[in-house]
């Protein structure tokens, strides 16, 4: 689906990769509805989008709240009258600790934002998308959604759930006008650690390795290219591409390698 003149909703659109998705869509002539739980981030994004010729609407929404997501559908339709796609980008990580040291409140928060928030958006918006001549759903999983990362086990489980949820949707909607894409970003230079309520030194430690960190601008471009080419899956970053091949070829060795790299981030 070409995004020019289409209306797309982007969750987590106030900062990081979400903000760049919004800005890139606007630059390509799409109409965008950006949502975020952080009102300040949305306001800052609006300032960056001031020169865009395409229209932009913003809403402060907690995607873990079903009623708020259902209200969002009505508010979004009030902006432009119709919708052509959603990009479920909003997500958080967990503290870099083992499952044994992770509280249930944190576990539930990660699952609620990453998985249930995505489910609520799809369930709410899909009936309308099915009425459009063409439409697209993009769900952002993660390299951690197909490869185990110690210290991010619950995050990985949430993103693995997004992966299979999206692939199932793709099969269910194969004979409809709604295309579906699952995205697996590798290491992207975003502020997800801060947005997850975690301390930044651990993020810095994670990023001091040998892996080249991809800019959110380039990540957004690759994701939108995936939409415009109706791709089944999009691997964002050379690390994601490499580990996708490695894990499929030898999952045990791939998991062992990642465990070795993450060892220094875990407290014990």
**pLDDT digits over 157-175, tens only?**
999 999 999 999 999 999 9
Number of separate domains in the chain: 1
pLDDT of residue 217: 94
Contacts of 240 (CB under 8 A, 6+ apart): 143, 184, 185, 186
For residue 132, CA distances in Å to 8, 84, 177, 250 come to: 12, 7, 7, 42
Q: Is 64 within a domain?
A: yes
pLDDT band at 204 (very low <50, low <70, confident <90, very high): very low
Question: What's the helix, strand, coil split of the chain in %, to 5?
Answer: 55, 15, 30
Residues annotated catalytic, as ranges: 155
Contacts of 169 (CB under 8 A, 6+ apart): 122, 137, 139, 180
pTM, full prediction: 0.91
8 Å CB contact between 20 and 217: yes
Range with lowest mean pLDDT among 129-143, 211-225, 227-241: 211-225
Domain holding 135, by residue range, is 7-265
Question: For the segment 210-221, what is each residue's pLDDT rounded down to a tens digit?
Answer: 557 899 999 999
Q: Is 1 within a domain?
A: no
Q: Is 98 within a domain?
A: yes
CATH number at residue 159: 3.40.50.720
Q: At 96, is the secondary structure helix, strand, or coil?
A: coil
Q: Calculate mean pLDDT across residues 72-76.
A: 97
Return the CA Rg of the chain.
18
Element (H, E) at 183: strand 178-185
């Amino acid at each position: 689906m070409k995004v020019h003149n289409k209306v797309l909703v982007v969750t987590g659109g106030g900062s990081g990769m979400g903000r760049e998705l919004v800005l890139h869509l606007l630059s390509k002539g799409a109409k965008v509805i950006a949502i975020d739980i952080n009102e300040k981030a949305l306001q800052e994004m609006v300032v960056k989008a001031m020169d865009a010729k395409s229209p932009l609407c913003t809403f402060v929404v907690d995607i873990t709240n079903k009623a708020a997501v259902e209200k969002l559908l009505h508010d979004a339709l009030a902006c432009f009258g119709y919708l052509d796609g959603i990009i479920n980008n909003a997500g958080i990580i967990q503290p870099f600790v083992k499952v044994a040291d992770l509280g249930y409140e944190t576990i539930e928060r990660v699952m609620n934002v990453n998985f249930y928030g995505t489910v609520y958006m799809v369930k709410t918006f899909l009936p309308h998308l099915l009425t459009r001549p063409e439409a697209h759903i993009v769900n952002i999983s993660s390299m951690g959604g197909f490869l185990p990362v110690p210290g991010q086990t619950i995050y990985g489980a949430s993103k693995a759930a997004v992966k299979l949820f999206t692939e199932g949707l793709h099969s269910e909607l194969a004979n409809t006008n709604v295309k579906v894409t699952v995205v697996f970003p590798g290491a992207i230079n975003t502020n997800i650690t801060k947005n997850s309520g975690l301390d930044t030194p651990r993020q810095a430690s994670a990023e001091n390795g040998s892996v080249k960190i991809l800019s959110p601008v380039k990540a957004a471009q690759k994701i939108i290219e995936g939409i415009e080419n109706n791709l089944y899956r999009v691997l964002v970053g050379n690390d994601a591409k490499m580990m996708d091949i490695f894990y499929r070829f030898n999952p045990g060795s791939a998991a062992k390698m990642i465990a070795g790299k993450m060892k220094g981030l875990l407290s014990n």
